């Protein structure tokens, strides 16, 4: 990237950028500077605690996340973009509806953001279109677009550019839109003036800390990803820690609890784009229906979806845990039969979780011997779900 030497009317350009952004489906545009040095101590402390878990890339990138000009040389300002993602069909009282789903053991819960098209694709394409519109006006300039795809401190940049403030759950909150939105950035070699940041408005509320099923929010603004259900079901590729399995309920991809309970999300906005409409197969999914997918069906149903990136094996690992939790809530011959029939053909990773799900160790050991794994003792009796 090379520093542009363009003479720019910043006020007029920002007005145009905001208009183009609205036409592209973005909800808000802001501008941040690139001096994020005040965020570096917190980032390093978080990494030092090991809270990033197996996400080794976060430690590998280190302070580059807080130094935009090192990630993209020549960067002098960052345009931040926000895009609401609640499906257009979302009814009033949607938070209560989602909690009701969580209370139905044989239902399958996928995070709201993942029920439609992969946001990475949607945001990246539209951010590039926004950059192209800028280039049409200004001529060539240096830039790169990002959407959760590089070592970028997205929430920090969003907060500094007026998109909102960091909630106690570490997500960005906006007074007019809650937290149900995606973030993206355009790194620029244009020195645009920074937007005014907003102040925080969480007050004494700690509903997000109290509701977290696994107590992953260990303190206000401090998240231990190793305990977070979103991390466990999406980022983590190994066995899910036994002591956390019973706490996951029927959450098979991500977790929205800290957002569902947040009072600010009564202001969450519906998406403008059809991309985030709920796919029919994810509208009212049951554990049994999703368990029945072959790998080919999984790939077909998740084409263009963020879900596809975890792969069929982790998908079944997550389902096995949820099915085990459903069996602990109420006996189900159909669930038990489905698990037992799948066990002899399961990969070692999935088989381990099936054995845990069955719980009946005498029967599970006999079946598990066909897979060559050792049946794990169930720890469900030693786990107490945190009060919510």
Q: Do 146 and 24 belong together in one domain?
A: yes
Q: Which residues are annotated as a binding site?
A: 65, 148, 172, 183, 202, 205, 208, 212, 228, 230, 255-256, 258, 262
- Going by their DSSP bridges, the two strands 77-84 and 28-32 should be labelled as antiparallel
Q: Do 294 and 180 belong together in one domain?
A: no
From 148, 210, 277, 360, the catalytic residue: 148
Residue 260 lies in a domain: no
Going by C-alpha positions, the residue among 261, 263, 255, 172 that lies closest to residue 210 is 261
Residue 296 lies in a domain: yes
Residue 232 lies in a domain: no
Cβ neighbours of residue 98 closer than 8 Å, sequence gap 6 or more: 109, 112, 256, 260
Range of the domain at 305: 286-379
Residue 204 lies in a domain: no
Q: Do 52 and 166 belong together in one domain?
A: yes
Residue 120 lies in a domain: yes
Residue 45 lies in a domain: yes
Q: Do 14 and 158 belong together in one domain?
A: yes
381 has catalytic annotation:
no
Tokens of 217: 């929010």
Last residue of a domain, one of 136, 154, 188: 188
Last residue of a domain, one of 161, 188, 215: 188
Which H or E element spans position 168? Answer: none
Residue 385 lies in a domain: no
Q: Which residues are annotated as a binding site for cob(II)alamin?
A: 65, 148, 172, 183, 230, 255-256
- Tell me the pLDDT of the chain (388 aa) as tens digits: 444 455 668 888 999 999 999 999 999 999 999 999 888 788 777 778 776 777 766 666 667 778 898 999 999 999 999 999 999 999 999 999 999 999 999 999 999 999 999 999 999 999 999 999 999 988 889 999 999 877 889 999 999 999 999 999 999 999 999 999 999 999 999 999 999 999 999 999 999 999 999 999 999 999 999 999 999 999 999 999 999 999 999 999 999 999 999 999 999 999 999 999 999 999 999 999 999 999 999 999 999 999 999 999 999 999 999 999 999 999 999 999 999 999 999 999 999 999 999 995 434 444 444 444 444 333 332 222 233 2
Q: Which residues are annotated as a binding site for [4Fe-4S] cluster?
A: 202, 205, 208, 212, 228, 255, 258, 262
Domain count within the chain = 2
Computed on alpha carbons and rounded to an integer, the radius of gyration of the chain in Å comes to: 22
Q: Do 68 and 176 belong together in one domain?
A: yes
Q: How far is CA 179 from the centre of its chain?
A: 12
Q: Do 23 and 171 belong together in one domain?
A: yes
Q: Do 173 and 316 belong together in one domain?
A: no
Last residue of a domain, one of 138, 171, 188: 188
Task: Give yes or no for a contact between 200 and 169, defined as CB atoms under 8 angstroms apart.
Answer: no
Residue 14 lies in a domain: yes
pTM above 0.85, yes or no: yes
Q: Do 310 and 173 belong together in one domain?
A: no
Cα gap 347→11, rounded to integer Å = 58
């Amino acid at each position: 990237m090379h520093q542009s030497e363009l003479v720019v009317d910043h006020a007029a350009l920002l007005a145009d950028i905001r208009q183009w952004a609205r036409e592209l489906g973005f909800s808000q545009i802001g501008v941040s500077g690139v001096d994020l040095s005040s965020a570096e101590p917190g980032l390093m402390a978080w990494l030092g605690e090991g809270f990033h878990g197996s996400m080794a890339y976060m430690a590998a990138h280190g302070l580059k996340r807080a130094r935009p000009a090192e990630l993209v040389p020549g960067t002098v300002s960052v345009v931040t973009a926000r895009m609401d993602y609640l499906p257009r069909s979302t009814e009033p009282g949607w938070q209560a509806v989602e909690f009701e789903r969580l209370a139905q053991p044989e239902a399958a819960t996928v995070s709201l953001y993942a029920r439609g098209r992969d946001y990475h694709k949607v945001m990246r394409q539209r951010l590039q279109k926004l950059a192209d519109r800028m280039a049409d006006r200004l001529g060539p300039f240096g830039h790169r677009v990002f959407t959760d795809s590089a070592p970028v401190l997205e929430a920090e940049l969003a907060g500094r550019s007026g998109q909102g403030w960091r909630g106690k759950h570490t997500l960005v909150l906006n007074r007019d839109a809650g937290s149900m939105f995606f973030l993206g950035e355009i790194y620029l070699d244009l020195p645009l003036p920074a937007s005014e940041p907003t102040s925080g408005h969480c007050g004494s509320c700690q509903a997000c800390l109290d509701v977290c099923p696994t107590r992953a929010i260990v303190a206000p603004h401090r998240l231990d990803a190793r305990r977070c259900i979103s991390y466990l079901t999406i980022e983590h590729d190994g066995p899910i820690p036994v002591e956390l399995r019973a706490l996951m309920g029927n959450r098979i991809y991500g977790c929205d609890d800290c957002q569902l309970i947040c009072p600010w999300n009564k202001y969450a906005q519906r998406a403008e784009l059809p991309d985030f409409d709920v796919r029919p197969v994810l509208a009212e999914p049951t554990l049994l229906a999703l368990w029945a997918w072959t790998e080919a069906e999984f790939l077909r149903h998740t084409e263009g979806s963020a879900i596809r990136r975890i792969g069929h094996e982790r998908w079944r690992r997550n389902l096995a845990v949820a099915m085990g939790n459903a069996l602990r809530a109420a006996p189900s011959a159909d669930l038990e039969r489905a698990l037992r029939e799948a066990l002899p053909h399961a990969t070692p990773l999935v088989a381990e979780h099936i054995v845990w799900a069955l719980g009946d160790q005498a029967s599970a050991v006999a079946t598990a011997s066909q897979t060559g794994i050792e049946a794990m003792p169930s720890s469900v009796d030693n786990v107490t779900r945190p009060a919510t």
